[in-house]
Amino acid sequence: MRIFLHPMNNLRTFLTSCVTFALIFGAKVVCAQGYEESALELMADTASWENFEDSHVGGAFDASTYDYTIFSEESFDMGIWTVSDSIARIPAYDMYCNWDTKNLFVVKSGKETLEEPLDLKLCHDVCDFVYPANGSITSPFGPRWGRMHYGLDIDLETGDPVSAAFEGMVRISQYSPSYGNVVVIRHSNGLETLYAHLSERLVVPGSYVQAGDTIGLGGNTGRSYGSHLHFEIRFKGDAIDPNLLIDPNEKQLRDWEFTLHRAHFDYISPAAKEYSEKVSRARSNRVHTVKRGETLSAIARKRGTSVQKLCKLNKLRETSVIREGQKLKY
């Protein structure tokens, strides 16, 4: 069979013709990764080409610039996929029942829908988690300046690589007035991680990433005062204190599994306050015993802090000589 394609000025007409062809012949293509992708899905992906230059370079991903019937604009879902397709391909689709690539967290229902404790598998191997940036914590999760700070601020320099903490699919990659350049990744256990104030985004919605993949570069965009990474963990839009899952000092998971309770969303409840006070007390009692050959910079790297902070806490100078067995607060 020979098919003639005539020149078309309107890309939508071309796409419609291709979709019709795909519907009739059920064409399938085998991708380099080894899985089959239907021609319908390829057409849906191609629908983003028309406004690529205006919509994807140097600004937010703005769904209002699109007017394609193969998308459901109300929910911004891939309306061309069946529910079973979405469940098979999109992480935790059965929990969320949507795939919104425009809005960060429109519906916050984590606490509301969590009737029973939920056991979450965070990783299956040591390589399944990577700390998203290399610096120390400059601002923790919790109340700050009269309002709630929903994540951890991690020190970095503009241009430093920012890594995906877990394997998952990119749901958001856009510019936000408050978050600046921001990326949100959904993971198979239902959690979503957010990476904000990036100087550059290196992924697009639908990108599948592994733990440790570079998804952007650190920066100071949006409502930010100095280069840092703002990192959040959320469940169905509601924030969870990353300290519950991650040890920022060791830059590793506290455990490979985590049980999520409704109390984890009670940020100003007595239980939350008690936990915060416990963490504060533990931090105030942290002491490092100097080993032979150690320097202030080596200790700072090991403990996830800075030489300046070590000096301030221990009334030292950066040129001070430290001795084996000496106790240093950090």
Contact 262, 114 (CB under 8 A): yes
Q: What is the pLDDT of residue 5?
A: 43
Q: What is the pLDDT of residue 107?
A: 74
Q: What is the pLDDT of residue 203?
A: 97
Contact 330, 299 (CB under 8 A): yes
Q: What is the pLDDT of residue 197?
A: 97
Q: What is the pLDDT of residue 272?
A: 55
Q: 287-289 and 327-329: which strand pairing?
A: antiparallel
Least Cα distance to 134 among 245, 228, 28 occurs for 228
Give the separation between CA 320 and CA 291, rounded to whole angstroms: 16
Give the separation between CA 4 and CA 16, rounded to whole angstroms: 15
| Tens digits of residue pLDDT in 167-224 | 999 999 999 999 999 999 999 999 999 999 999 999 999 999 999 999 999 999 999 9
Q: What is the pLDDT of residue 199?
A: 97
Q: Two tokens at 101?
A: 């690539």
pLDDT digit of tens for each residue in the chain (330 aa)?
Answer: 444 444 444 444 444 444 444 434 443 333 333 333 333 343 343 333 333 333 222 333 333 223 322 223 333 444 456 778 788 889 988 888 889 999 888 678 888 888 899 999 999 988 999 999 999 999 999 887 767 899 999 999 999 999 999 999 999 999 999 999 999 999 999 999 999 999 999 999 999 999 999 999 999 999 998 899 999 999 999 999 999 999 999 999 999 999 999 889 887 555 555 655 666 666 667 889 999 999 998 998 888 788 888 898 898 988 899 999 999 988
Domains of the chain (ranges, CATH numbers): 11-80 (no CATH), 120-278 (2.70.70.10), 287-329 (3.10.350.10)
Give the separation between CA 217 and CA 311, rounded to whole angstroms: 29
Q: What is the pLDDT of residue 88?
A: 83
Contact 197, 228 (CB under 8 A): yes
Q: What is the pTM of this model?
A: 0.60
Q: What is the pLDDT of residue 45?
A: 38
End-to-end CA, the chain: 74
